[in-house]
Amino acid sequence: MTTKVFVDGQEGTTGLRIFEYLSERRDIEVLRIEEAKRKDIEERRRLINESDVTFLCLPDVASRESVSLVAPDNDRTVVIDASTAFRIDDSWAYGLPELARAQRERLRTAKRIAVPGCHASAFVLSVKPLVAGGLVPADFASHAYSITGYSGGGKKMIAEYEAGGDPRLNGPRAYALGLTHKHLPEMAAHTGLKRAPIFTPIVGPFLKGLAVTTYFSPDQLTRKAKPQDVRDMFAEYYNNEPFVRVMPFDADSNLDAGFFDVQACNDTNRVDLFVFGNDERFVTVARLDNLGKGASGAAIQCMNLAIGADEQAGLAH
């Protein structure tokens, strides 16, 4: 028996990558919309309600419209949304199975799933265990930055970088410097923090790969702890998680001749967690593929849970 899947927003970066994942699955039947009818509401309504799973790879407003197309008596179709529209909506399951012990079961039974943002996934995975374990207080004033590949900016930004000829694109570029990045609400809501981090993202001249670095000093913690203790908290929290690797503390093997490789998780659904520093100050770093675990891979992982498939099906480590 195959699962019928429709991708609403099939031409975007996330939608195209989801199609790549689905094309390798023999247990999936992809329902495609004709190019001329991509914006035809009635055709989208038909395909959404015919599907077992619909992925929404759309801007927030369009995602909300697509959800409204689900028939009132349709309690079968699972909607998996990749926009920011529903990520802090309690009636939607947050699509991060590793978030907490009960999260995976919620995703198995949910009909509405909101896929996390790429920056948010990395930040939440590196802060949630510390808040849940009581080491970091809920009123912690967190500071973090992210460096990411240009694919996170979508098709227009990809085209700008790949066209070449613009020297401004040769180096890293900070953005969202109004400090109101759209991922901030979920960064607070799903870590247990009372306030969002001071967060600055940076786009680099490479296609994909992402790492979020968060800063800590011991006097901000609720009890005495060394960086090694933080690493051990990660290891305990993510024990047996198939897509999370907790790396050895401060080991030379974590670096490439002293430098951190932000692209080392590319083409996987894996998250690597690191702790660097000393007894006076330390940082956590979460690395992932922003098109994989940061977007399309996470969506497929959620689909696998929702349809009762092997959670790891079609996803690389």
Report the CATH fold assignment for 118-290: Dihydrodipicolinate Reductase; domain 2 (3.30.360)
Pick the CATH number of 3-116+294-307 from 3.40.50.720, 3.30.70.260, 3.30.420.40, 3.30.70.250: 3.40.50.720
Structural domain boundaries of the chain?
A: 3-116+294-307, 118-290
Known catalytic membership, residue 118: yes
What pTM does this model have?
0.98
Which one of 57, 118, 265, 302 is the catalytic residue? 118
Per DSSP, the residues of 245-314 read EEPPTT-GGGSBTTB--TTTTTTSS-EEEEEEE-SS-EEEEEEE-TTIIIIIHHHHHHHHHHHTS-TTTT
The CB density around residue 212, as the number of other CB atoms within 10 Å, is: 28
- Decide: 131 and 188 in contact? Cβ < 8 Å: no
Element (H, E) at 228: helix 227-237
- The single residue listed with the structure tokens 């659904």 is 269
Per-residue pLDDT of the chain (317 residues; tens, 9 = 90+): 899 999 999 889 999 999 999 999 999 999 999 999 999 999 999 999 999 999 999 999 999 999 999 999 999 999 999 999 999 999 999 999 999 999 999 999 999 999 999 999 999 999 999 999 999 999 999 999 999 999 999 999 999 999 999 999 999 999 999 999 999 999 999 999 999 999 999 999 999 999 999 999 999 999 999 999 999 999 999 999 999 999 999 889 999 999 999 999 999 999 999 999 999 999 999 999 999 999 999 999 999 999 999 999 999 99
Give the bridge partners for 5, in sequence order: 30, 53
The tokens for 174 are 């900070």
